[in-house]
Each structure stands twice: as C-alpha cells, then as structure tokens.
Chain A
C-alpha cells in the first residue's frame, strides 16, 4: 500500500487520471450549456442582431469547478484511498494471542476483535502460525494458520466472569505442555485476576509479550440493597483519577408486561474514588417490578445487577377468627406473625372479602375453621392461581368438624377430632421437640434450637398421601407442618397455633427462618452460606458476557452455600437461580467486591488500541462525486432556465400544507370531556356505517335546532359516541340507529352500557324499518337489534300505552311518526299495579324514566337538516309530509323532555285530584 499524505492508496496509478483534468477543463469550457428558452414578444427588435464572435458565452466557472471536483473525486475514490492504514510491525515465528475474555472486556469487545483481526491478517501475511488462548475458558494450544482463526473469531464471546485461579492453573498447564518458543500478544480486559504474574512469567520464558489494554476504567455494578425505604445502588471502578458519571436504569416489566426502564439514577464517581453509590426512592409497586439494574450504554455482565426477592416485599394478608381485643395483644394469634413479618413484608389486615381483591401474595388464616362458601370459593380460586395459603391450627380448628371425613381443598390433610395435648398438667408425656428436617423438606438444613417444644397440636388422620405432605414433624413422628399443592399455589398448615399457646415455636428464631423458607417473608439481608445449607438451586436465566439474560438450558443445579460463596465460573454462571418459589440473584460482582486494575511487570510493554481504525475512503469519495454530479444536473437545468428552485420549493411547501391540513382538521374534531360536560350534548352511537352515522348526526342537529327554538333545552352540537372508547356518563340520551352490519360491542362496552342504563341514561333504538316490519315481519335490522340488546340490562317492555308520559311531556301526541309513519314503539312496561284513578284519563304511573325506547320510524332522517336548517330527506308527500315531519320533531321534543324532566308531567296530571283532596 502506498502512502501519500497519511492516506494509503490501494491502486495509486489510477491517480494519474488526475492529469486528464486540465484537458477536461478546456473541453468543458468550450461547450456552453444549452440555451435558455425565453419567451419575449420584443424579439422583432432583436432580429438581425449578430453575436460578437469574441464574446461567445462559456460555461460558468462554478459549474466547471463542480464538474472538475466530481471527476477528481471519482478518480481519487476509485484509486482506493484508506485513512489510517494499518502499519505492520515485525516479528516472526509462532504467535500466541491471549485474551482475558472476561466481562471487563465486553464493552470493548468489538474493538478487541478488530484488533485481533488486524493482528491475524498481519500474521497471515507474514505466514506465522497462530494459537489463541482464552483465559476464561482455556483449551490446549493449537498453532494454526491465521485465516482459520479469523473464521472462528466471529463466534467468540466474552464470558461473564473473570478467570478464576482454577482456570489460570489450567492455562499454565496448557502453556507448559506446548513446546518451542512463541511470541505472545495479550489482550487484557483491565480487570486484575489472581495468578496473572505467574502467567506473565511463564509466557516471558517463551518469547516477547505485547499487551493491549484499553486503559479506560472498568465499571461494575454491585448488588443493590434496600435500606430504610431506599434502594441503594453501589458501583465500583478499576481506576480512579477522573470524575466520572454513569446512568443506571432500573428495568422491569410494566403493567402490560413489556420490559422498560422504570427508573434511573446517576452514579457519580469523585476523581479519587473507586466506589460510589446512588439512592433511588421508588414506590412499593414499582420496586417489586424491577428485574435488574443496568449501567446505560455499557454492554457488560458486570454492569448488570439482577435483583431477586430482596427488593420485593411480599403482601401478606393476616386473618384471624377472633375479633380484635385490645387487652390481649400477646395472646392474639397474629401477634407473633406480625412481629416476624413486619420488617420484611407488607401486612394487610381486614376481612377476607376485602383483602382478596387486593391479590396478596400470601394469606394467613390463624385458627379459622370455616369460611363462608363464597369466600371459600374465592380463596380456592386465588390459591389455584398461585397464592400461598398459610393456616395455623388452634382451639377453634380443633373443635370444629373441618376436614374430618373428607379432605377439603383448603386443608392439606384430614384432621382428627380434638387434637392432643402433651406435657400439660393433665397429660402424661413431656412436651415434644422437633425432629430434624428431612431432605425433601423446604426446611432442610435449618438448625433446630433446643428450646422449641410443642405441647399441643392437631392430629392428622392417617392417609395414603399423608407421608408425602408432611414437611416437618415432631420427634414422635406426628406431623407439625403439612403442605399440599393446589393448582399453581399451595396450602400449608402449621398444626400448632400462631401464638405461644401450644408451642414455643413462634418464640424462636426458627419460626422466622421457616417463614422465610416458605417464601412468606423475604429476607432483607442477603443470605449467607449457612442460611442456604441443604438447598439446591437451579439456574433459571444466566447472563452472558455482554449482560444479556439468556435461558439456562441444561446447567446443573448448584448447592446453596456454593451459590453464595464460590467464585463464578463455567459451573456457576452469574444469573437468576431458583429453588422452589424462592429466587436468588447471583451477580457478577458480589457485595463488597472490588474491581482491581491490572498490574503488569515493567518489562512488559502495555499498548492501548490503535488510535483510529483503518478506514477506506473510496465509498465516501465516490458518493461525493455522485452528489456533485446530481448538483451539476440541477445547476445545468438552472442555467438553461428549465428548472426554478423557487417553484420546486413552492410545490414542496404546498404538498406539505396539504399534508398538514387533515391533521389540523382532526385536531379540531377532538372533543374533550370538558366540552361535553359544559353543555347538554345529544349523542348517537357510531355504527361504523358512514352514511347512517352522518344522517343520525344531521338528525340530532335538526332536533337540537328545534329544541333550542321551542324549549329551554339548548343542546351543544351532537356527538358521535364510540362505545368502546368514549365515556357515556356525559350524555343523558343516546340515539342508537341499528344497522344490519353493526359489530357487537365488546363486553367492556356492554358493562359501560349497563351502568349507563342503571344510572338513568336513555337509549333510543331505531331499527329504521317501520315500512318493512309493520305487519309483524322481522327485518334484518330488528334481528340485529335482538342480538345487540341481548346482554343489555333491559326491563320488560310493552307497546307504548296511550297514557304514557311521552304522549304529553311537552306536546300532546298520540302518534310518533319519523320518516315512516305509525311504527310500533316499545317502552318499559308499566308496573302491574298501575291503576286508573277515578275521573282521570291517566293511570298513576309516576315511577321512573323508561331506559329504552325501541322503534323503527327512522326519526333521525325526519329531523335531519343541513347547515341552513333546511330538511335534508323527504318525508311523506306534500303538506301531509310536512305535517308528519312536524310530528316527528314534536316526538323528539317530548322524548328529550321525558329524558330530562322524568315523570314531571305525569305528576302534574294529579294536581287537580290532590287539590281536591286538600279541600282547596
């Protein structure tokens, strides 16, 4: 590669083409651009005028320059210029490339890889055999051709741990097994590991060592802790010296389940500090959602801190049968539970029916024998969906007949009558101690204090399944804690009371630990190895070197103490581990860990990465040439008057305006709830049929005009209601034209409609088919109406009686035509006991407004007017038609009066009778 002015050229001889430029200049200069066409009526005056030869026009200099530049760019671009071409440095013989390949190098992985690629290609050109050694996963050295490694390089990823002493030892073995000398190229992550100096010594014996290191500090995120209501985020970095800032995001699922950033905090390192922390105050609900913290824009497993149960406080509902008694706090069945759970869980107390909708994680029933059937069913459903029901025995349970003969769903075992009492004043035996926990028990590994004794318990009936359900037993083999799965959840019964009446268990620390193991409470402090003694944990998700969570497919289980204490490695990969319903987040950095910088002996040269990457400029220059040629076309058109930038800009502007207009119109049509509630608004249901919706809207506008003119009702312009999205409570009256193809509303919409009808709204269903359905024939629209109205909460209906208040709410009417005359109208049936008062033409019907009016007279079409208040659709013929339209309007007025004033008119008809009775 030839270097000219810091730029390498792949084929420099092409640059000779630049010599052609002056010739091109002369050529182009001689050929003027095409003439500009100019309409000019005074051309008659120009006829016969000759051009002065010496003054013949030439291509403008700037156009010429543009073309020259374009051609020059093309020539230079084709000659393959490269900025910062890689310069070879010497060396011969085999080459070993050592990579730390831990999480610390993950942010620079691409850079690392590019560096290795460059080295490999250089080694390939020099014909040197190459071997690669990844310290996090050492394998025997293989000296191969560089090209083979180049192919494998793409598949290499950093590991989410730092090489442990065991791996370093393996690496030393591998090196010692190899014969002969070789040079070493070491790509370091910048994070210190144990045994690095040994490796350096071993490698230095074989040849020269070159080290590449980015030099930037490596930041790691330590596990977040929860202190005094705040989440505290800790971070460490490898090298101090400069003040530094990093943003940490708390990620987790939002209510819809999509993962997003729930909160963020800024970590600020002081110039001299290696450690820093940030605090994050989050509400409980949000805190429980957090699944991990991540340093923004740092792709590394060390920059991710997974969270487990520790940040999450479980909601525990405490329910006891006894009414609260102030004097007997220490005897309360819930007292010790409260004490045990208070620090680590959110406690809910109250009635079960109130607490269950809050969907707690755990429900504790202390000595509750019987539940109401509805509550029991709700509780079973809740457990079925993953709830944990924790029951304690007690005198009531012992005395009741719960689960005597048959196994009940909410009781793990059948119980014997009465229970037993041991070691009391009236019994023979001594109080019993606990037997050591069996291996399958969730309590396995917990230490049993000597002072825990049990003096009373409820006894389980011997059953075939009994043995499998016992998770803790007394020294005599009688069950103390039994458990059974129910659906996705489980039911656990402590055969003793939750207070110290029957046993000393609630007084001991074991009680708290047992609750913790049952995931009733979650530990606020990280567990130590002893806490997890005897448990086996299975990886659910593991981190890769870049900090991405991946499924842990077939990783072997890990013993509890190892999970806390062992260093990460291939056997213990950082990630989320589960055991039963407990979760433990094993992070790359553990609490109190440090990120140490690497230390190299003075004999080893440490280089940072090459300042800039090799960068081919050919594409850039060719692109520039193309752009300039495009500009040249525009300029040539401009010079010859065939194109005017102003006009093009105007066209763009126009099209922009055109695009802008509909949005503006849309913005105008949006009506806010404030607008709707400020005035009375007549509403109609949008059917999805544009024509029907338009007619209905026009109809309601016409009716609004009539109302404004004739009555004190002055409605705002009508509003089309989308049943799915709009709130109905603002509208006293809904006009619902029924079309054949109308989709059925969703169940949510029906719930809204039923609430609307219950709270006094009125719907006018109009099948608009009175011309077809008059003789009792059922039209398509009527059938659709039946389907639409089926889920609606509609009272019994009857054809509109002659004394209905609709006949006299404003106008006296007996006929309610729309566009079709005399269709049947249905309203809510009058009560059975309505009686006609002597001497009055009307029955005593003053109760309620009919929630629905059903008809098919197509009133909207009869009401519809245009902007000039002129009727839009024909009604009837001639004067009779106009009379019919007038009656339709009067019906509308009566209907709205009925909606808004209720049975006021119905009351008023009794005034004479009332006055008569009062003796006036």
Chain B
C-alpha cells in the first residue's frame, strides 16, 4: 500500500510530481518565445507590407490602360465604363515560396557573456521564429531542414516550429543540416558559424547544387566580437572539449580579431560563390534590427 503510485503503473523512476514540473518547465519556454516572435513580426508588418508588384493573386493592385496585346476579356468594364479609356485590372503578385530554416542548436550557441544579454541560441531562435511568422503571414511555406518539419503553411506551423526550437542539441558545434532540401526553395541558416568550416562548405555546396538560395545569419556575442579579456585566462570551449590557456589574454586580441575577420571573409566568399547573403547579428543589438535585416535579405531577389 505504501508503494508510490508511479511504480505501480510501471512508469520509470520519475515521480509524477517531478515529471509534471519538468513538463511545465519545458512548456514554459514556448509561449514567451512565440509571443516575442509574434510581437517582433507585428512590428515589422506595420511598416512593410505587400509585394508591391503586379502578378497573380487575389488582391487588387492597380488599373492600367489597355495595351497592345491584352486580350479583350482582361478589360475591367466597371472601371472602363466611367470614361472613354479602357482599363485592365491588375492583381497583386502572390506566390507561395518554400523556405527552409536551420537554427544551430549546438552547445556553442548556449553562451552569453553577461547575465543581461540573451544567449546566442535564444536570439537565434527568436529571430528565426519571427521571420517564420512573417513569412507564414506572407503566405509562404516554412519548414525546418532535415525532414524533421517539412514546409507547410498556416499558423500551426509556427507552433510546431517553436516546439522544435525547444530541443537542445548536445553537439559542441552542430554542423548545418542539409538534408531534405526542396530544390529552388529558399533557406535561412542561423548559427555562430564558429564550428568546422568544411561542414558548412558541404552544406552550402549541396544547397547551391539544388538551386537553393538563401541567407546565412551569423549570431555572435559581443565578447566574441570585441575579445575584452586580459590577464591569465583559460578559455574553455563548449562541452569541456577544447581549451586554450594564455598568460596574457590582451596580447591575443589583435590576432584573434584577425582570425575572426578571416573566418568572415571565408564565409563571405562561400556565400558569394553559392549566391547566398551573409548577415551578422550581435546579441547586444536589438532583435528588431536583426529581424529587419533578415526581412529585407529574404525579400531581396524574389
């Protein structure tokens, strides 16, 4: 009689209360992320809306005079009846694009140099989710790479995506996921791109092969950009794997910054070769600016 209920039901050792606590803890991440993302997206939509070009769609775009080559059935008689000239009613161009997202969930992303700053992974998730919200509102199909979450449209997709974003990956530097990419779609890779460069090369090459174009967004902590260290320091990489000890950290700054610039150049070159866009975001900046850049970058070359 005194046995706990859980063992009678055959559930493993986690007591029911604890399980519930954990579940709630995990679930509690979702709503704030979603709300933040929606808010962020709302702020962007306020200023920028529509495709601003004529095309196939449901919404009215403009009336233009009939030109040579327009078939007669294209004439809008209601408008034309008001005067002598004949007009054609054009609709706004609307087309569904497929966008693949990949957000680095690796350990290297779980870092913030200051308690007042968000972790890189939090900012990356927020930006990606907000971009996803924007794109889904724009009618695009959004999904994750790797077949975990195939591109779909509709608000449910945002929820599913948020759910996937709660999974942490224990790999120190997660390689980009490049499987299950739909040809000629668009892609958004968000990471700090501090891991092995070859993996990224392979992923981008493969994507380019399939005709994908997209955006690489590098999210960095301010300390990674500025290297504000001095004195005897032991730098520890994610997952206790890689360490580097120095007697005078301040002397390393210039050479570190040099290497960082090199890495960025390499990324730039890679992007140019593959036809992608490279962006940089610091967790110290506002998420709004990051999202605006992202929005424009994704908007470009539609």
Using a CB–CB distance below 8 Å, which chain A residues touch chain B? 32-47, 49, 51-52, 55-57, 639-640
**B-side contacts of A36, CB under 8 Å:** 229, 231-234
- In the complex formed, the residue of A with least CB distance to B238 is A41
Contact between chains at A38 and B248 (CB < 8 Å)? no
Partner of B237 from the list A35, A44, A56 (CB cut-off 8 Å) is: A44
- A-B pairs with lowest CB-CB distance, top 4: A41-B108, A43-B237, A35-B234, A40-B235
Verify if B263 is at the interface (C-beta below 8 Å from A).
Answer: yes
Verify if B275 is at the interface (C-beta below 8 Å from A).
Answer: no
Contact between chains at A49 and B238 (CB < 8 Å)? no
One of B139-147, B158-166, B254-262 contacting the partner: B254-262
One of B9-17, B200-208, B239-247, B286-294 contacting the partner: B239-247
Contact between chains at B192 and A35 (CB < 8 Å)? no
* In the complex, per-residue mask of B164-180: 1 if CB is within 8 Å of any chain A CB, else 0: 00000000010000000
Within 8 A of A (CB), among B168-197: 173, 192, 194-195
Q: Can you spell out 27 A-B residue pairs with CB atoms less than 8 angstroms apart?
A: A35-B233, A36-B233, A38-B233, A38-B235, A39-B111, A39-B236, A40-B224, A40-B237, A41-B107, A41-B108, A41-B109, A43-B242, A43-B243, A44-B173, A44-B237, A46-B256, A49-B246, A49-B256, A51-B247, A51-B252, A55-B247, A56-B247, A56-B248, A57-B231, A57-B232, A57-B247, A639-B231
Count of residues in B whose CB is under 8 Å from the partner chain: 37
**B-side contacts of A43, CB under 8 Å:** 235-237, 242-244
**B-side contacts of A57, CB under 8 Å:** 231-232, 247-248
Verify if B251 is at the interface (C-beta below 8 Å from A).
Answer: yes
**B-side contacts of A33, CB under 8 Å:** 231-232
Contact between chains at A41 and B232 (CB < 8 Å)? no
Contact between chains at A32 and B256 (CB < 8 Å)? no
Partner of A42 from the list B194, B243, B249 (CB cut-off 8 Å) is: B194
**A-side contacts of B195, CB under 8 Å:** 44
**A-side contacts of B109, CB under 8 Å:** 41
Q: Tell me, rounded to whole Å, the shortest Cβ–Cβ distance linking B238 to chain A.
A: 6
Give Cα distance in the complex from A47 to B235, angstroms: 10
Q: Tell me, rounded to whole Å, the shortest Cβ–Cβ distance linking B114 to chain A.
A: 11
Give Cα distance in the complex from A55 to B247, angstroms: 8
Give Cα distance in the complex from A36 to B111, angstroms: 17
Give Cα distance in the complex from A41 to B256, angstroms: 13
Within 8 A of A (CB), among B255-277: 255-256, 259-260, 263
Within 8 A of A (CB), among B99-139: 107-109, 111, 120
- In the complex formed, the residue of A with least CB distance to B248 is A57
- In the complex formed, the residue of A with least CB distance to B227 is A42
Given A41-B224, A44-B195, A44-B242, A52:B237 Cβ within 8 A: no
Q: Tell me, rounded to whole Å, the shortest Cβ–Cβ distance linking A43 to chain B.
A: 4
Contact between chains at A46 and B251 (CB < 8 Å)? no
**B-side contacts of A46, CB under 8 Å:** 235, 244, 246, 252, 256, 259
Q: Tell me, rounded to whole Å, the shortest Cβ–Cβ distance linking B276 to chain A.
A: 22
* In the complex, per-residue mask of B2-46: 1 if CB is within 8 Å of any chain A CB, else 0: 000000000000000000000000000000000000000000000
6 additional A-B pairs beyond A34-B232, A40-B236, A46-B235, beta carbons within 8 Å, are A36-B229, A37-B233, A39-B235, A41-B109, A41-B238, A44-B173
**B-side contacts of A47, CB under 8 Å:** 242, 244
Give Cα distance in the complex from A640 to B232, angstroms: 8
- In the complex formed, the residue of A with least CB distance to B245 is A35
Given A35-B234, A36-B232, A57-B232, A51:B194 Cβ within 8 A: no
Contact between chains at A45 and B259 (CB < 8 Å)? yes
**A-side contacts of B260, CB under 8 Å:** 42, 45
Give Cα distance in the complex from A51 to B263, angstroms: 21
**B-side contacts of A56, CB under 8 Å:** 247-248
**A-side contacts of B238, CB under 8 Å:** 39, 41
Contact between chains at B248 and A51 (CB < 8 Å)? yes
- In the complex formed, the residue of A with least CB distance to B173 is A44
Given A36-B234, A46-B235, A46-B256, A41:B194 Cβ within 8 A: yes
Give Cα distance in the complex from A39 to B114, angstroms: 11
- In the complex formed, the residue of A with least CB distance to B230 is A57
Contact between chains at B246 and A51 (CB < 8 Å)? yes
Contact between chains at B194 and A44 (CB < 8 Å)? yes
Give Cα distance in the complex from A49 to B255, angstroms: 8
**B-side contacts of A41, CB under 8 Å:** 107-109, 111, 120, 192, 194, 221, 224, 237-238
Give Cα distance in the complex from A57 to B223, angstroms: 21
Q: Tell me, rounded to whole Å, the shortest Cβ–Cβ distance linking B235 to chain A.
A: 4
Give Cα distance in the complex from A41 to B221, angstroms: 10
Contact between chains at A38 and B224 (CB < 8 Å)? no
- In the complex formed, the residue of A with least CB distance to B196 is A44
A39, A41, A45 — which one has the most chain B CB atoms within 10 A of its CB? A41
Q: Tell me, rounded to whole Å, the shortest Cβ–Cβ distance linking B219 to chain A.
A: 11
Give Cα distance in the complex from A329 to B70, angstroms: 140
Within 8 A of A (CB), among B57-105: none
Give Cα distance in the complex from A55 to B252, angstroms: 11
Q: Tell me, rounded to whole Å, the shortest Cβ–Cβ distance linking B247 to chain A.
A: 4
Contact between chains at B231 and A45 (CB < 8 Å)? no
Given A43-B244, A45-B256, A49-B256, A38:B236 Cβ within 8 A: yes
A33, A40, A57, A640 — which one has the most chain B CB atoms within 10 A of its CB? A40
Q: Tell me, rounded to whole Å, the shortest Cβ–Cβ distance linking B188 to chain A.
A: 21
Q: Tell me, rounded to whole Å, the shortest Cβ–Cβ distance linking B194 to chain A.
A: 5
Contact between chains at A42 and B224 (CB < 8 Å)? yes
Contact between chains at A37 and B232 (CB < 8 Å)? no
Give Cα distance in the complex from A909 to B104, angstroms: 86
Give Cα distance in the complex from A44 to B246, angstroms: 14
**A-side contacts of B192, CB under 8 Å:** 41-42
- In the complex formed, the residue of B with least CB distance to A53 is B247
Give Cα distance in the complex from A38 to B120, angstroms: 16
**A-side contacts of B108, CB under 8 Å:** 41
Q: Tell me, rounded to whole Å, the shortest Cβ–Cβ distance linking A59 to chain B.
A: 10
Contact between chains at B251 and A45 (CB < 8 Å)? no
B109, B220, B251 — which one has the most chain A CB atoms within 10 A of its CB? B251
Given A45-B256, A47-B242, A37:B236 Cβ within 8 A: yes
**A-side contacts of B231, CB under 8 Å:** 33, 36, 57, 639
- In the complex formed, the residue of A with least CB distance to B244 is A46
**B-side contacts of A38, CB under 8 Å:** 229, 233-236, 249
Contact between chains at B244 and A49 (CB < 8 Å)? yes
**A-side contacts of B235, CB under 8 Å:** 38-40, 43, 46
Contact between chains at B232 and A32 (CB < 8 Å)? yes
Q: Tell me, rounded to whole Å, the shortest Cβ–Cβ distance linking B176 to chain A.
A: 16
**A-side contacts of B251, CB under 8 Å:** 51-52, 55
Give Cα distance in the complex from A42 to B242, angstroms: 10
